[in-house]
Structures are given as C-alpha cells and as structure tokens.
C-alpha cells in the first residue's frame, strides 16, 4: 500500500513538473512578443546607436536582432528579425549606420518600439515583413 501511494505521488509530481516546464518554454507564434499592427505603421530616419542579438525565448519580446535608432525626436528600439535571415540576405548593421525604418509602432513593456517591415540604408532596402506583418522568412516556398 505504501509503495503504491509513493509511486502515485512520484508520478503525479513528475507530471506536474513536466507540465510546468512545458508551459515555461516559449512557443513561437503563440502570443510571445508584441503584435504587428498595420494600423500603426510609421517611418523613422536616424542613426544606429546600438545593436543586440536577443536569444529566442530569453525575454518577453521577440528574439533576433534588435537595433537602437536615434532620430531627431527619440531613441527607439527596432525589432528587425532573426540574425540567420539577415546573414542569408548579406545584411549587417553597425553603429553609426544611417537608416530609414518603416514598421509598426508598438509598446513593449510600456516602451515604444518598432517592428520593422523594411529598412533602407544607402539606397538599398531589405524587406522583413509584408503589409500584414507576416515575416518574409516564414513564408512557405512555392
């Protein structure tokens, strides 16, 4: 009887621990991070003052490359996209780069940010998302 109760408790604890771990692992596309909103499209121009690569699942916002862009009015974080996608497109950003960003202005932890749709530098442009905010790297090959 004791052995059966012990086994039941052990299995129950293992099931609870597994469920807690599964809930803690971020699920791509399931509400993690800010939501691209076509109604909040804006365009900014400025200089890159910082760049970070945020690992997927490490914070409350999307992982990937993030830029800090200083405009005449503000310094704002720009969510660009996965570093692997930028590498495949042969795009690198450096501090001091003058860029134009078009994207959706959103709040992340109460702070304004932009989810980039396109970024232009030196008359070259990279498309990151379509008009609805769907990432180009997520499109299915046809």
Alpha helices in 30-105 (DSSP H): 83-88
Q: Tell me: pLDDT of 140 over 50.
A: yes
Residue 53's pLDDT is 80
Residue 89 has pLDDT above 50, yes or no: yes
- Contact, 63 vs 55, CB < 8 A? yes
Mean pLDDT confidence for 89-107: 95
Query: Is the pLDDT at 20 greater than 90, yes or no?
Result: no
Tell me the pLDDT band of 27, cut-offs 50, 70 and 90. very low
pLDDT of residue 110: 84
Per the prediction, the chain carries an average pLDDT of 79
8 A C-beta contact, residue 17 and residue 11: no
Higher pLDDT, 83 or 117: 117
pLDDT average, residue stretch 1-28: 47
Q: Model pTM?
A: 0.72
| CATH code linked to domain 38-136 | 2.40.50.140
**Confidence bin at 4 (pLDDT 50/70/90):** low
pLDDT per residue as tens digits for the range 44-84: 999 999 998 876 655 555 668 999 999 999 999 999 999 88
How far from 73 is each of 2, 43, 44, 47, 76, CA to CA, in Å? 70, 13, 10, 12, 10
């Amino acid at each position: 009887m004791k052995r059966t109760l012990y086994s039941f408790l052990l299995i129950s604890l293992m099931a609870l621990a597994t469920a807690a771990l599964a809930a803690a692992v971020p699920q791509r596309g399931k509400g993690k991070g800010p939501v691209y909103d076509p109604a909040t499209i804006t365009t900014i121009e400025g200089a890159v003052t910082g760049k970070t690569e945020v690992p997927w699942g490490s914070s409350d916002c999307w992982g990937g490359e993030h830029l800090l862009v200083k405009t005449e009015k503000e310094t704002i974080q720009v969510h660009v996209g996965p570093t692997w996608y930028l590498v495949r497109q042969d795009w690198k950003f450096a501090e001091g780069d003058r860029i134009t960003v078009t994207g959706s202005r959103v709040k992340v932890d109460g702070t304004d940010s932009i989810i980039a749709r396109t970024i232009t530098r030196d008359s070259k442009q990279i498309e990151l998302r379509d008009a609805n905010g769907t990432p180009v790297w997520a499109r299915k090959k046809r």
